[in-house]
Structure 1
């Protein structure tokens, strides 16, 4: 047990803060970045989806390897290097001159973040004894809630006073502080028997996911999932991912050890994380356009409106373990997923004039459900594997979360885009043919063109809002189905309570420096 373990936990949460903060800030900035220059970059909905998914896919694809590199070289070295790369990527993203540059620099940020995330949990598992780990993980999860809480408000305030790139540049001072504190406080640790790296597996997983997500997003943009390019990308991505699984099963040093998934409890916890992030990331994506484009609120006000989602996680995540102690993992996690499904169903009833208090209640209860899913599933996953494999467990947990979120944005974003195009195309007859296709791309594209047309364009606003609301309702109902599937999985396979270690079981001690 490390004597400075609580101070170390604080530093780890700071490094986690910048990784999570960036995505929650970006959510509020989506509309601004999609606004034409000089205010934004004039990014299309598909480009915005790629700005988010370039981060999540690189992040997810490298987590396996990042965990192994941390196990091999030492978690402290990997943490310091990862945070430094993340800071450089943030500074470059802030100065992007086009959507393509932003997508590339977001991928660079993800390269750094991939080495930060698994190392934070691996260090945490190393400096805390098993009996304190659930409490520490609960506080760590609360840090995620804090980052999500700070992000929208910070992003809104920055966008009200500075240029859109400030939402990325704000990471730089946090990175500098984290580097200084980490150098001073965090002990180094590594796996005494680290696994070999698996570059082929990493390449296959990234290529497969990128192809799959590209096909899904492209299908939404075209409102045609039978287009040959869409089918080729989706089927090609699935084929590469099948090849990835086959390769990993036969490899003697897999980056993804598929034997872990023979444990039904482990698999159910992973599925719960992936499915809840699938639903929530998709909802966050369309809720920003609902609040800012349909309701007309500024980035700062929309950040404030999303605050209950994060505050609920901040309040309940550290206390969720008490609910687990009383009711067990199965009841707690399943109830959380059912609650999220119910709140997504509420989203399907929202209109342009729905009272704001209903939106606030829905966000708060969604955050409450989230807190009671993340804490028990994180504990189950981290304790399902031997202690020296903490990096691998953390990497798997975060990979499934990121892949779930990326697929959620791609699939639900495509449902939103396709449904919106179908609903608005018939109302664009007043526009010249060259503008119709562009206007049907997203509500922001329609409203942008309406603004340029002046009084003549005002006739487009009501049809655009109606088409978006219909598309949002359909997308929310898809999210309901995904959350309910997660509830069925956890209800069937999660244990009533976290299994206790076997009597006489000894944990392998990690080679640790600075203790």
Structure 2
């Protein structure tokens, strides 16, 4: 009998490198929002270009995640991490010195390419350097950092813009990237799939085309309308291509994804739960940013700092997640976490013009806590459903579902918010000139801009009507987000096994001794 291999000695230091790499790309999802007003002025950016400065990163990021995870498994996960950091850093430099909106959109897309290499590598490396008994704690930390980036983005952006230009939100990435590359070379061991499978080129192309078409449709639907023929065509194309992708993966000898993994309820139920909670969470954060800055009148920095309660909830919840999962099982942890998130959203839906920040802070703490309690065990369930050799593509699937859920949440909930806001304010602007009424109905920000031009009692009345229409719309939309999070809790409660079944555990326990025995016989 050969002894069980000792775990990697510097795994916790390596986790710090992985966390820093993950944090820099998740912060980038939200840090740019506070810089958009400055970008509009300096680069003469119109509304469509502003949307694509934000969304080009997300579109490329989501479209390449599966390929990034597969290439990491094949050619080395540390290599994928370092290459992704280099590309992300290069894109950040180009973005900081962009001279036009189109240059900035292209640079952001390049950053998305780098992020697609970084994110799957962080989780797959984690799975390979931590022994089974320590993985839940490490994954809880990973999930906490993943959520933390969403909250820290507005804070970091607000702090930077107080002293520097919009370019600083990109230049701040450079020292983090340089440090992460250096310490990755020193602290992170290389790992890959020992079978060195051939790259599934057809599957890679199909996954990129299918995911890109769907994400593009989700992004554009809020502008062009959900029934627009172009949008419906994008969804039809994306769905058809992904169906072909799944059919191809069933027949190819060395697929990117083993489709049979979806029969494992630990994998599929956890994946759906994660997708639903990110749908509700990112859609809610999108609304909350506007509420804090436009309705309550906070500056970008003040609004960013008021997202700190989410971070507090995440930190406390990450610790609680481990205890809950160990004592009560994954089912209770995931379902309970999503239920807590739904409760936080329900509290937030009660916000109005006079409720003040206290209600928001309470809701944010609860949402952050619930997210941490549920997402760590859900992520661990997904990753433990796959062999360590396939950790890269497993991590990529986890990341794709997060991105799709978040994108869908912003698109769907944003569309509902806009529709409800427009109908709520309609009566209040019916007597205004048509251009003024149209701008006021478009968004609450537009109404404030119009009011500044009108002045007097007309401005006061318009602002009051717009703010009231927005909080009414936000309440309805946040109720829907809470219902979606509650649906995720029900999915976990009904379909997610409490723990891994005994057969899976026995297979893990017997796998290594068999491999060692075969190795010893080969040496003889």
Name 1:180's counterpart in structure 2: 182
Name 2:121's counterpart in structure 1: 119
Q: Structure 1 residue 397: deviation in Å?
A: 1.0
Question: Is the radius of gyration larger for structure 1 or structure 2?
Answer: 2
- Give the conservation status (yes or no) of the 8 Å contact 1:337–1:373: yes
Q: Structure 1 residue 128: deviation in Å?
A: 1.8
Give the match's secondary structure for 1:380.
helix
In the TM superposition, what whole-angstrom CA distance separates every residue of 1:7-47 from its partner, at most 9, and x where no partner exists?
212212121121122224235x1xx4156742686553x65
Aligned counterpart in structure 1 of residue 168 of structure 2, from 157, 166, 169 = 166
C-alpha separation in 2, matches of 1:133 and 1:54: 34
Asked if residue 23 in structure 1 is aligned to residue 29 in structure 2, the reply is: yes
Larger relative contact order, structure 1 or 2 (CA cutoff 8 Å, min sep 6): 1
Task: Specify whether residues 164 and 425 from structure 1 end up closer, same or farther in structure 2 by C-alpha distance, changes over 3 A only.
Answer: farther
- Give the conservation status (yes or no) of the 8 Å contact 2:337–2:375: no
Moved more, 178-187 or 414-423: 414-423
C-alpha separation in 2, matches of 1:141 and 1:334: 16
Name 2:522's counterpart in structure 1: none
- Give the conservation status (yes or no) of the 8 Å contact 2:221–2:411: no
Q: Alignment length, in residue pairs?
A: 505
Q: Which runs of 5+ in 2 are unaligned?
A: 1-6, 517-524
Name 1:502's counterpart in structure 2: 506
In the TM superposition, what whole-angstrom CA distance separates every residue of 1:109-129 from its partner, at most 9, and x where no partner exists?
111011111111222222222
Q: CA RMSD in A?
A: 2.7
Moved more, 236-245 or 291-300: 236-245
Q: Structure 1 residue 343: deviation in Å?
A: 1.7
Moved more, 54-63 or 445-454: 445-454
C-alpha separation in 2, matches of 1:356 and 1:249: 52
Name 1:375's counterpart in structure 2: 376
C-alpha separation in 2, matches of 1:208 and 1:449: 41
- Give the conservation status (yes or no) of the 8 Å contact 1:41–1:97: no
Aligned counterpart in structure 2 of residue 9 of structure 1, from 11, 15, 19 = 15
Moved more, 130-139 or 329-338: 130-139
Give the match's secondary structure for 2:337.
helix
Name 1:354's counterpart in structure 2: 355
C-alpha separation in 2, matches of 1:335 and 1:471: 28
Moved more, 346-355 or 415-424: 415-424
- Give the conservation status (yes or no) of the 8 Å contact 1:148–1:310: no
In the TM superposition, what whole-angstrom CA distance separates every residue of 1:322-362 from its partner, at most 9, and x where no partner exists?
11111111111111111111222222221111131111110
Q: Structure 1 residue 320: deviation in Å?
A: 1.2
Aligned counterpart in structure 2 of residue 134 of structure 1, from 128, 132, 136 = 136
- Give the conservation status (yes or no) of the 8 Å contact 1:34–1:48: no
C-alpha separation in 1, matches of 2:355 and 2:447: 22
Task: Specify whether residues 99 and 363 from structure 1 end up closer, same or farther in structure 2 by C-alpha distance, changes over 3 A only.
Answer: farther
In the TM superposition, what whole-angstrom CA distance separates every residue of 1:366-390 from its partner, at most 9, and x where no partner exists?
0010001111011111111111111
Name 1:241's counterpart in structure 2: 242
Moved more, 308-317 or 431-440: 431-440
Task: Specify whether residues 478 and 146 from structure 1 end up closer, same or farther in structure 2 by C-alpha distance, changes over 3 A only.
Answer: closer
Task: Specify whether residues 76 and 227 from structure 1 end up closer, same or farther in structure 2 by C-alpha distance, changes over 3 A only.
Answer: closer
Asked if residue 489 in structure 1 is aligned to residue 491 in structure 2, the reply is: yes
Q: TM-score, normalised by structure 2?
A: 0.88
C-alpha separation in 2, matches of 1:291 and 1:40: 26
- Give the conservation status (yes or no) of the 8 Å contact 1:330–1:490: yes
C-alpha separation in 2, matches of 1:287 and 1:52: 18
Name 1:513's counterpart in structure 2: none
C-alpha separation in 2, matches of 1:101 and 1:430: 42
Aligned counterpart in structure 2 of residue 105 of structure 1, from 100, 107, 110 = 107
C-alpha separation in 1, matches of 2:98 and 2:304: 23
- Give the conservation status (yes or no) of the 8 Å contact 2:203–2:249: yes
In the TM superposition, what whole-angstrom CA distance separates every residue of 1:139-171 from its partner, at most 9, and x where no partner exists?
333333554454332222112222233222211
Task: Specify whether residues 21 and 134 from structure 1 end up closer, same or farther in structure 2 by C-alpha distance, changes over 3 A only.
Answer: same
In the TM superposition, what whole-angstrom CA distance separates every residue of 1:182-219 from its partner, at most 9, and x where no partner exists?
12222222111133333443443343344444444444
Moved more, 437-446 or 278-287: 437-446
Task: Specify whether residues 36 and 48 from structure 1 end up closer, same or farther in structure 2 by C-alpha distance, changes over 3 A only.
Answer: closer
Name 2:36's counterpart in structure 1: 33
Q: Which runs of 5+ in 1 are unaligned?
A: 511-515
Q: Structure 1 residue 454: deviation in Å?
A: 4.5
Q: Structure 1 residue 315: deviation in Å?
A: 2.3
- Give the conservation status (yes or no) of the 8 Å contact 2:40–2:50: no
Task: Specify whether residues 244 and 100 from structure 1 end up closer, same or farther in structure 2 by C-alpha distance, changes over 3 A only.
Answer: farther
Alignment of 1:65-104 (within 5 A): 65-97=67-99, 99-104=101-106
Alignment of 1:61-460 (within 5 A): 61-97=63-99, 99-148=101-150, 150-222=152-224, 224-429=225-430, 433-434=434-435, 436-455=437-456, 457-460=459-462
Give the match's secondary structure for 1:139.
helix
Moved more, 389-398 or 200-209: 200-209
Task: Specify whether residues 256 and 405 from structure 1 end up closer, same or farther in structure 2 by C-alpha distance, changes over 3 A only.
Answer: farther
Asked if residue 467 in structure 1 is aligned to residue 473 in structure 2, the reply is: no
Moved more, 111-120 or 32-41: 32-41
Q: Structure 1 residue 59: deviation in Å?
A: 1.8
Moved more, 362-371 or 245-254: 245-254
In the TM superposition, what whole-angstrom CA distance separates every residue of 1:87-145 from its partner, at most 9, and x where no partner exists?
11122233445555444322211110111111112222222222222222223333335
In the TM superposition, what whole-angstrom CA distance separates every residue of 1:449-495 from its partner, at most 9, and x where no partner exists?
33344546554322221222222122212212211211111001212
Q: Structure 1 residue 48: deviation in Å?
A: 5.3
C-alpha separation in 1, matches of 2:14 and 2:261: 29
C-alpha separation in 1, matches of 2:475 and 2:150: 24
Q: TM-score, normalised by structure 1?
A: 0.90
C-alpha separation in 1, matches of 2:148 and 2:39: 32
